[in-house]
Amino acid sequence: MKKKYLFTPGPTTVPPECLLTMAQPIIHHRTPEYMKIFGEVREGLKYVFKTENEVLTFASSGTGAMEASVSNLLSRGDKVIVVKGGKFGERFAEIAAAFGVDVIPVDVEWGRAVEPEVVRKKLAEDSNVKAVFTTLCETSTGVVNDIKEMGEIVSKFNAVLVVDAISGLASVELNTDEWQVDVVVSGSQKGLMIPPGLSFVSVSDKAWDLVGVSNLPKYYFDFKKVKKAQEKSDSAFTPAISLIIGLRQALGMLKEEGIENVISRHACLAEATRRGMSGLNLELFADRPSNSVTAVKVPSKIDGANFVKRLREKGVSIAGGQAQLKGKIFRLAHMGYMDKFDILQMVSAVEVELREMGYELQLGKGVQAAEEVFLKEIV
Amino acid sequence: MKKKYLFTPGPTTVPPECLLTMAQPIIHHRTPEYMKIFGEVREGLKYVFKTENEVLTFASSGTGAMEASVSNLLSRGDKVIVVKGGKFGERFAEIAAAFGVDVIPVDVEWGRAVEPEVVRKKLAEDSNVKAVFTTLCETSTGVVNDIKEMGEIVSKFNAVLVVDAISGLASVELNTDEWQVDVVVSGSQKGLMIPPGLSFVSVSDKAWDLVGVSNLPKYYFDFKKVKKAQEKSDSAFTPAISLIIGLRQALGMLKEEGIENVISRHACLAEATRRGMSGLNLELFADRPSNSVTAVKVPSKIDGANFVKRLREKGVSIAGGQAQLKGKIFRLAHMGYMDKFDILQMVSAVEVELREMGYELQLGKGVQAAEEVFLKEIV
């Protein structure tokens, strides 16, 4: 017998209610039955995104929606600001380059949040900038950026603000309309608790103006086509039916808990994880840590890649570092379908495995620190 | 109690074995466990596609892979021949136009197969044509095109042959390598028996040469990125994990039956369906009918849209006509997870419903004709 535990920052655990709903016989999508389901999904997405705007839905992984936000908003030769500072920030720059868009990079040291003032200066320097691209939670470093402040800044310019919230939506606070975030990109396999294969984009009126003049080629990810179909609860192309049906269930669960409570739960679970790690004398990597994933520095003398591998072989999936952070950090997700008892298992797994690998720690200290958070707070 | 019957040309019924496999707890994709599964899927796809070439896999619906075959093979201003003659042939022309590619159309009357000689003439007229786009089975009209002949013709020119086999793969004969088909596009929700959300493209060496010089923008659908990752059984972007796991199961079932037997089963089910319709004095729409879907002319005095609606309300999903064929035909799929008893239910449903709507027919005649096919043939 080997039980499996999934503590990776996407995919996250899918609730059994959703798995069983998706295991029902498939239905056709050009039917009143499906359209009713999709209508509920559209409403549920607006609720979670905190927007009045239509949330466009695609059958693709998150990167597809990132590409869509480039190809639909921009024209060849347009200038955009891209906040780097992690693997996913850099991906926006790669996509823009692939589509012939000029990138003004904001280079941020990996593990640090962007300073919104830097973006303000770059915007002030060049009135031709059409968009600012940034991540909400940079999954590769565990950093959460100050999107509220960014929204305030960008809204004063002609540019639109595009936020990759793939691993932040429904786990980290994000008030799309209130904060004046023009475009929010997300995916199904993180806070939304569904298997990967769906991606989403919310689009403000200011952003639709850019869509109107964009000349970059697109077809499958064409915002106008997709919006036109969605407004009739129809789909431009065959949707990923089973995932949409699972998503309706997951959105219902988020609605029932209440999105504010969902966000507080993540804050509490994240705090317990961070305290747990500190209780083991481990150092956090991010200067502004996200409530969706915690990046922890691998202690010296421990082989980081081996640590992740050994845990996996025991049934516990956590994530290592990516790209330049390979072997240097490990990442613990507390995102989606997780409660405090999951956190205790996760902290305990780290504790026991590090000790087995020869790291000096007092057994139970990490778990104790996490429990203290839970006893002070309401989950 | 209302049971449901799915006789639509995609999505098709998902076998319970696949549904249950997909309902298991999700796993992470950057793990040996997932890579082993994906390795088996890669092999299974080559078997079904009848190719030695890598079959690239995307998280998207079929249209995404159609777009990919345009954006990866071509450059701005390139000339291509597109066989129209149905909704999906026309989609290739729309995609090419969206990407700034010049389309030389081959207009075929809806319901007729393309005459390969017409394509040969157009190729001979212009040595700059880079590619010929056509469908294998045109789902909107129920026509199957002569891809073997097309392959023989196109292989003598510099152009590559791109075939949309979304609703033909694993139901209609298609010998990719033997017939010299350079690019085959497909999707998960037809003959492969899995919910929609996965798409596929096989790419010949001749086509890879075009990929090498293509300058159209792409990122999410970038063949080179995807191939590089797949060769390590890895994925360039987060894959649709649950669908891949279901697909492994479905590919195993196809392998066990044997692809030649799968194709013969479809031939037999299609023949029974056609004879069943003729037994009711109904006329077929396609001049070269596909073994994946049968298009039938709606008899005069019967409201075609209402016929489809009434059946649906009784739990039986069939498809009506699309675009210019709305109300004029109905379409019965015999694709994927179907056997002879399914065909009998389907023919009977048509028989009973048409009679209820006032069409004169002798009850049982359609079913009888279908049964006669089954008694003469081995399913």
pLDDT of residue B379: 52
**Cβ pair B241:A8 closer than 8 A:** no
Q: Determine contact: A358 vs chain B, CB below 8 A.
A: no
Give the chain A residue whose CA is nearest to the CA of B317: A28
Nearest to B20 by CA among A4, A3, A2, A22: A22
Q: Label residue A377 by pLDDT band (50, 70, 90).
A: low
The answer to whether the beta carbons of residues B62 and A238 sit under 8 Å apart is yes
Q: Closest residue of B to A100, CA-based?
A: B217
What's the pLDDT at B170? 98
The distance of B142 to chain A (nearest Cα, Å) reads 18
Q: How high is the pLDDT of residue B376? A: 86
User: What is the per-residue pLDDT for A378?
Assistant: 55
Over residues A164-216, the pLDDT tens digits come to 999 999 999 999 999 999 999 999 999 999 999 999 999 999 999 999 999 99
Q: Check if A219 contacts B (Cβ < 8 Å).
A: yes
Average pLDDT over residues A75-99: 96
Q: Does residue A169 sit in helix, strand or coil?
A: coil
CA distance A322 to chain B (A): 11
Does A227 share its domain with A272?
no
Cα–Cα distance for residue pair A365/A282, rounded to 1 Å: 11
pTM higher than the cut 0.80 = yes
**Interchain pair A195, B26: CB under 8 A:** yes
Query: Cβ contact (<8 Å) for A60 and B63?
Result: no
* Residues 87-116 in A contacting B (C-alpha not used; CB under 8 Å): 94-95, 98-100
Nearest CA in chain B to A57: B60
* DSSP string covering B165-223: -TTTTTTS---TTTTT-SEEEEESSSTT-S-S-EEEEEE-HHHHHHHHH--S--STT-H
CATH number for the domain spanning A31: value is 3.40.640.10
The pair of three-digit structure tokens given for residue A107, joined into one six-digit string: 């280079």
Using an 8 Å CB-CB cutoff, list chain A residues near B243: 195, 197, 240, 242
pLDDT at A245: 98
Tokens of A223: 């915002």
B219:A24 CB<8 A: no
Kindly state whether residues A209 and A244 are assigned to the same domain. Answer: yes
Find the closest chain A residue to B315 by CA distance. Answer: A27
* Cβ–Cβ pairs < 8 A, chains A and B: 177
Tally of CB atoms within 10 A around A87: 18
Which among A13, A67, A243 has CB closest to B219?
A67
Question: Do B160 and B270 sit in the same domain of this protein?
Answer: no
Tokens of A227: 């919006």
Contact A13 B25 (CB under 8 A): yes
Chain A positions touching B13 (Cβ under 8 A) are 25-26
Give the burial class of B128: count Cβ atoms within 10 A of its Cβ; 0-12 exposed, 13-18 middle, 19 or more buried. exposed
Q: Are residues B248 and B319 in the same domain?
A: no
Among B206, B223, B256, give the residue marking a domain's end: B256
pLDDT at B1: 86
Task: Find the DSSP H helices in chain B.
Answer: 16-22, 32-49, 62-71, 87-98, 116-125, 147-154, 205-213, 223-230, 241-257, 259-279, 304-313, 340-356, 365-376
Strand-pairing partners, residue A104, are A81
Give the model's pLDDT for residue A376.
Answer: 86
CATH number of residue B362's parent domain = 3.90.1150.10
How wide is the angle at C-alpha A161 spanned by C-alphas A59 and B239, nearest 5°? 25
Q: Of A256, A271, A293, which residue sits at a domain end? A: A256
Chain A contact for B5 (CB, 8 A cutoff): no
pLDDT digits (tens, 9 = 90+) for A247-285: 999 999 999 999 999 999 999 999 999 999 999 999 999
**Measured between CA atoms, how close is B90 to chain A, in angstroms?**
13
Do A115 and A243 share a domain, yes or no? yes
Is B94's CB within 8 Å of A219's CB? yes
Q: Phi/psi class of residue A98: alpha, beta or left (left: φ > 0; alpha: ψ in -120 to 50)? A: alpha
Nearest to A196 among B24, B59, B217 (CB): B59
Q: Do A67 and A208 have their domain in common? A: yes
ipTM greater than 0.95, yes or no? yes
Same domain as A152, residue A251:
yes
Inter-chain touch A195–B312, beta carbons under 8 Å: no
A240/B71 touch (CB, cutoff 8 Å), yes or no: no
Does B21 contact chain A (CB < 8 Å)?
Answer: no
Of B4, B31, B196, the CB nearest to A25: B4
Window A:318-347, CB contacts with B under 8 Å: 319
Q: Which residue of A has its CA nearest to B9?
A: A28
Same structural domain for residues B180 and B327?
no
**Do B89 and B220 share a structural domain?**
yes
pLDDT tens profile A134-147: 999 999 999 999 99
If one counts the domains in chain B, the total is: 2
Bridge-based pairing state of the strands B198-203 and B55-59: antiparallel
Which H or E run includes B80?
Answer: strand B79-83
Q: How far apart, in whole angstroms, are the C-alpha atoms of residue A170 and residue B356?
A: 51
Q: Which residues of A touch B20 (CB under 8 A)?
A: 23
Residues in chain A with CB shorter than 8 Å from the CB of B58 are 60
| Chain A partners within 8 Å of B242 (Cβ) | 22, 195, 197, 242-243
Do residue A242 and residue B195 have CB atoms under 8 angstroms apart?
yes
* Interchain CB contact of B24 with A (< 8 Å): yes
Distance from CA of A95 to the nearest CA of B (A): 6
- Residues of chain A with pLDDT > 90, as a percent, come to 98
Report angle CA A66, B78, B46 to the nearest 5 degrees.
Answer: 65
Q: How does DSSP assign B264-288, residue by residue?
A: HHHHHHHHHHHHHHHHTTPPBS-SS
CA distance A87 to A4: 27
CB-closest option in B27, B63, B243 to A220: B63
B 30-69 residues inside an 8 A Cβ radius of A:
31, 58-64, 66-67
Domain termination residue (choose one: A241, A256, A271): A256
Cβ separation B197–A10 shorter than 8 A = no
| Residue A284 DSSP label | B
Scored b (16 or more CB within 10 A) or e, B344-369 reads bebbbbbbbbbeeeebebeeebbbeb
Question: Same domain for A221 and A292?
Answer: no
Query: CA nearest A242 in B: which residue?
Result: B195
Is A238 within 8 Å of B8 when comparing Cβ atoms?
Answer: no
Strand ordering across the sheet containing A183-187: A55-59, A198-203, A183-187, A160-164, A129-135, A79-83, A102-106
User: Whole-angstrom Cα distance, residue B67 to residue B58?
Assistant: 12
Chain B residue at shortest CA distance from A94: B219
Domain of residue A277, residue span: 5-10+258-376
Specify whether A252 is located in the same domain as A342: no
Task: Give CB contacts under 8 A, 24+ apart, made by A36-42.
Answer: A36/A233, A37/A244, A37/A245, A37/A248, A38/A230, A38/A233, A38/A234, A38/A235, A38/A239, A38/A244, A39/A233, A40/A248, A40/A251, A40/A252, A41/A244, A41/A247, A41/A248, A41/A251, A42/A230, A42/A233
Rounded-to-integer distance, Cα A339 and Cα B138, Å: 50
Whether B186 has its CB under 8 Å from any CB of chain A: the answer is no
Instruction: Give, for all 379 residues of chain B, the pLDDT tens digit.
Output: 889 999 999 999 999 999 999 999 999 999 999 999 999 999 999 999 999 999 999 999 999 999 999 999 999 999 999 999 999 999 999 999 999 999 999 999 999 999 999 999 999 999 999 999 999 999 999 999 999 999 999 999 999 999 999 999 999 999 999 999 999 999 999 999 999 999 999 999 999 999 999 999 999 999 999 999 999 999 999 999 999 999 999 999 999 999 999 999 999 999 999 999 999 999 999 999 999 999 999 999 999 999 999 999 999 999 999 999 999 999 999 999 999 999 999 999 999 999 999 999 999 999 999 999 999 865 5
Q: B268 and B248, same structural domain?
A: no
Q: Which residue from B23, B218, B220 is facing A23, i.e. has the nearest CB?
A: B23
In angstroms, what separates the C-alpha of A245 from chain B's closest C-alpha?
11
- The answer to whether A5 touches A349, Cβ cutoff 8 Å, is yes
For residue A267, how many C-alpha atoms fall within 13 Å in the half-sphere facing its CB? 10
- Chain B nearest-CA distance from A221, in A, is 8
CA closest to A70 among chain B residues = B219
Residues from chain B that touch A309, judged by Cβ atoms under 8 A, are none
Q: How far is B276 from chain A (nearest CA, A)?
A: 24
